[in-house]
Structure 1
Amino acid sequence: MFDRTYRQRLEADLAQWEADGVIAPAAAAGIRNVLPPLSPGINIAVVVAIVGGLLIAAAFLAFVAAHWTEIARLLRLAMLIAGMVVAGGLGAWFAATGRTVLADLCASIGAIVFGAGIALVGQMYHLGEDFAGGMLLWSIGAFAAALLTGSRGALAVGLVAACIWTCMRSYDAPNVLHLPFAAVWLVAAALAFAWNSRVAAHLVALAVLPWWIASSLRFESGGVQPAFVLANGAALLFGGGLAIAAAPLPSARRLGTVLSIYGAFALAVVAGLEVTTVDEIIRIRDGSAPTQPLWAILCGAAGAILAFASAKITNRVGEAVAGCAIGLVLVAAPIWPASQAGEPWLAYAALLGAMLCLVVSGMLDEERPRVVAGWLGIAGVIAGITWAVKGSLLRRSAFLAAAGIVTVAVATALNRALPRADK
């Protein structure tokens, strides 16, 4: 929850509680006094200044590009270096005057100019055409800028460059798992942890998705099913996020919560992909080909174990149910029949149960994103079962009806059991 939104809700609650006589006016005033001051937001002047800075930077780049061939090489290098120095100097001045948003913008522009400098220097001096290596160098420079300045924008630039780098490496060597990206990602995660920043946590969570997608789409690796590989990645992101959030440190709780949210949504998307792509729309395996590599299986198992470990540490039943959701999604892969005959009813049931567990988990822990992810997953799985290409629609309708009857029976049993537990 963003701090400003939380403050507005707290202020409304305090006013209501004071009007209802729940708390004394002195208590409400004491709560307001102990709250730290809000950080200054982005006002109209800051927005206009950002647009103006971007226009000036675009004009500079357009002018240089228009006269690039007419400018001497040394002058080109001097202009690139001057651009980075000016961006860094303005950022330092804005930071000293308390204008953190503009300082972050200047650091981001400096990181972008650094990347442009790498490309232009390579073009001028006809260096080797290792575009992926250039992206790695750009990423390292942007991470250095983020580490020195605390800029979230520079971190975003570094992560984008790193994602392009790992996707290019995966394309160039499809039979080799590109593990170096994990080291780069851990550096970014360490920065997000040290900063205790929700924005940085979102950037880190988003950055891991391209690597898993690129790794899962390596069709040359013996007929591996991309949906099953993605399921293991979603499981590790979800369970790992829950485990990190179980740590007592506030920064770990913030980072882990964001990672678990992205993991929950990824798990819901993967559940729908397993139904709609495996043996239905995309066929890339035969009866003897493995559906997922060993390293991916180990990652998925680690995610489930971490979720249950987190539930043990925090004593939250919802996280244990989340571990069950992870396990059911992972179980759907090995029980999916490799033969052409019949339909994977058990796998369908496992995926529906997984998404139901995800909804229940979010309700028990009062985590709304997890509930939303579960409902989206249920909708995706039902849609995939209903409109799949293969099989009889009559049998699918019978399966959905049976699943609905079982679910209603479970709901009836829970409705009778819960009041007794309350008593």
Structure 2
Amino acid sequence: MFEKTYRDRLEADLAQWEADGVIAPAAAASIRHALPPLPAGINIAVVVGIVGGLLIAAAFLAFVAAHWTEIARLVRFAILLAGMIVAGGLGAWFAATGRHVLADLCASIGAIIFGAGIALVGQMYHLGEDFAGGMLLWAIGAFVAALLTGSRGALAVGLVAACIWTCMRTYDAPDVLHLPFVVVWLIAAGLAFAWNSRVAAHLAAIAVLPWWIATSFRFEFDGAQPAFVLANGAALLFGAGLAIAASPSPRAARLGSVLSIYGAFALAAVAALEVTTVDDNFLFRARTASGQPLWSVLCGAAGVILTFVSATFTKRAGEILAACAIGLVLLAAPAWPVSTAGEPWLAYAALLCAMLCLVVSGVLDEVRPRIVAGWLGIAGIIAGITWAVKGSLLRRSAFLAAAGLVAVAFATALNRLLPRSAR
């Protein structure tokens, strides 16, 4: 939640409670006094300054690019080195004067120029054509800059370079699981934890997705569908995020909550992918099978276990339903028939129940992103079932109607069982 939005809502609540006599004026004043001052935001002058700096940098790069072939090699290298020095010096000055946004921007520009310097040296001296290795070197330099300056932008540059690196390594050696990226990602997650930064946590959560996607599309797994491998990755991200968020540490809670949000949306997306990719709409292989690599299955099982562990500590019923949602999505893979004959009704039912559990989980725990993810998953599954090429549309309509009746009956039962205050 953004700090200013929270403060505005709290101020409105305090005024309303004070007017209703719920709290005394002295208590309201004490709460206001206990709040720390709001951090400095980005005003119009800062925004205009950022735009102006970016325009000047773009003009400089365009001028250098226009005369690139006419500039001597050492001069080219000196220009890039001077750019890094100037960016670092300006960043230090902005940080000393309290303009942290501009200091972060300078650190990011310095990290980008460092990557350009790597490309230039490789071009000038005709080094080995290991483009992935250059990306790794760029990522290391950007991570060092982020560690020294606390720049979220430099962390983003490093993660982008690391994602390109792992995708290229996976493409070059598809028979080998590229585990070194996991070490790089753990470093990024550690920085997000140390900084207690929600922005850094978002960057770390997004960065893990390309590795799972690149890994899942390695066709050397006999009979493994990419959607099933992705499902295990989403399960691990969701479950690990909930388990980390259950920690008493506020830093861990912030990091874990962000990871669990991305895990919930990834789980919903994978549920829709299982419907649309395993069937005849997008057939990746000549035969559809539910075989999965053992390490992937273990990751999915770990996600379920971690979610139950989190529910044990937090005592939240919604997290138990979240574990059920993860388990049902994972069970849909072996529920899919190996042969192409017939339709996987059990898998369809499991996926719909999983997304319903995800929605109810978000409602019980009052986590809105989980609710949105569940509804999106339901919409994607219904669309996949309805527009699939294979099978009879009449049977599909009958299945959806039966599923709707079951959902209505379940809602009626809940309405009668739950107390009025919890409905």
Q: TM-score range by the shorter chain?
A: over 0.9
Cα distance in 2 between the residues matched to 1:320 and 1:335:
22
**Cα gap change, 1:287/1:74 in structure 2, threshold over 3 Å: closer, same or farther?**
closer
2:106: which partner in 1? 106
Unaligned runs of 5+ residues in structure 1 are: none
Aligned counterpart, 2:119 = 119
**Distance across 2 between alignment mates of 1:377 and 1:246:** 25
The 8 Å contact of residues 285 and 291 in structure 1, kept in 2 or not, is answered as no
Is residue 69 of structure 1 aligned with residue 30 of structure 2? no
1:167 aligns with 2:167: yes
- For residue 70 of structure 1, report the CA deviation from its aligned partner: 2.0
Matching residue of 1:155: 155
Q: 2:115 touches 2:138 (CA, 8 Å); kept in 1?
A: yes
Residue 366 of structure 1 corresponds to which residue in structure 2?
Answer: 366
Could you say which residue in structure 2 is the equivalent of 1:222? Answer: 222
- Offset from partner CA, 1:13-43 (integer Å, 9 cap, x none): 1122222222222211111111001111100
Aligned residues of 1:224 and 1:285 also touching (Cα < 8 A): no
> What is the CA-CA distance between 1:250 and the residue it aligns to?
0.5
Partners of 1:57 and 1:288 lie apart in 2 by: 52
The residue aligned with 1:25 is: 25
**Residue matched to 1:323:** 323
CA spacing shift, 1:266–1:297, aligned 2, 3 Å:
same
**In the TM superposition, what whole-angstrom CA distance separates every residue of 1:199-238 from its partner, at most 9, and x where no partner exists?**
0000000001111111111123323201111111110000
User: How far apart, CA to CA, are the structure 2 residues paired with 1:288 and 1:86?
Assistant: 57
5 Å matches for 1:179-218?
179-218=179-218
Identity, % of aligned positions: 82
Q: What amino acid does structure 1 have at the position aligned with 2:363?
A: M
CA 1:348–1:120 in structure 2 vs 1: closer, same or farther (change >3 Å)?
same
Paired letter, 2:361: S
Measure, in 1, the Cα distance between the counterparts of 2:233 and 2:214. Answer: 12
Q: Say if 2:269 and 2:377, in contact at 8 Å, map to a contact too.
A: yes
Q: Does 1:307 align with 2:307?
A: yes
Q: Deviations over 1:337-360 (max 9, x none)?
A: 011211111101100000000001
Distance verdict in 2 for CA 1:261–1:364, change over 3 Å: same
SS of the equivalent of 1:282 reads coil
Going from structure 1 to structure 2, the CA distance change for 1:60 and 1:278 (only over 3 Å counts) comes to same
Q: CA, structure 1 residues 420+13, in 2 after alignment: closer, same or farther (shift >3 Å)? A: closer
Per the alignment, in what secondary structure is the counterpart of residue 186 of structure 1?
helix
Aligned to 2:48: 48
Q: Shift of residue 131 of structure 1?
A: 0.6
C-alpha offsets along residues 361-417 of structure 1, whole Å, 9 cap, x if unaligned?
A: 001101011011111111111111111110011111111111112122222222221
How far apart are 1:421 and its partner, in Å? 10
Name the SS for the 2:382 alignment partner.
Answer: helix
Match of 1:14? 14
Report if aligned partners of 2:239, 2:260 keep a CA contact under 8 Å in 1.
yes
- 1:420 deviates by 9.0
Cα distance change of structure 1 residues 70 and 286 upon mapping to structure 2, 3 Å threshold: closer
Give the deviation of 1:289 after TM superposition. Answer: 5.4
What letter matches 2:45 in structure 1?
Answer: A
- Taking the aligned partners of 2:102 and 2:284, their CA distance within structure 1 comes to 50
Cα pair 2:223 2:287 within 8 Å, conserved: no
Q: Is the 8 A contact 2:289 2:339 kept in 1?
A: no
Question: What is the aligned partner in structure 2 of residue 38 from structure 1?
Answer: 38
Q: CA deviation at 1:141?
A: 0.2
1:398 is matched with 398
Structure 2 portions without partners, runs of 5+: none
What is the CA–CA distance in structure 2 between the aligned matches of 1:19 and 1:86, rounded to whole Å? Answer: 56
- Taking the aligned partners of 1:241 and 1:141, their CA distance within structure 2 comes to 28
CA contact (8 A) 2:278 2:288 kept: no
Contact 1:223 1:284 in 2 (8 A): no
Q: In 2, Cα distance between the equivalents of 1:80 and 1:408?
A: 65
1:220-369 pair list within 5 angstroms: 220-285=220-285, 291-369=291-369
Output the amino acid matched with 2:128: G
Distance 2:170 2:321 in 1: 35
Tell me the TM-score normalised to structure 1 length. Answer: 0.97
CA RMSD of aligned residues (A): 1.4
Distance 1:316 1:289 in 2: 36
Check conservation: 1:18, 1:28, Cα contact below 8 A: yes
Distance across 1 between alignment mates of 2:126 and 2:158: 24
**Aligned 8 A contact 2:223 2:288 in 1:** no
Q: Deviations over 1:288-315 (max 9, x none)?
A: 8553211111111110110001000111
Whether the aligned pair in 2 keeps the contact of 1:325 and 1:354 (CA below 8 Å) is yes
Q: d(CA) in 1 for partners of 2:214 and 2:179?
A: 12
SS in 1 for 2:418: helix
Q: SS of the counterpart of 2:292?
A: coil
**In structure 2, C-alpha distance between the alignment counterparts of 1:117 and 1:418, rounded to whole Å:** 64
SS at match of 1:334: helix
Task: Kindly provide the amino acid, as one letter, of the partner of residue 117 in structure 1.
Answer: G
1:60 and 1:187 mapped to 2: Cα distance? Answer: 34
1:133 matched to 2:133: yes
* Deviates further, 238-247 or 1-10: 1-10
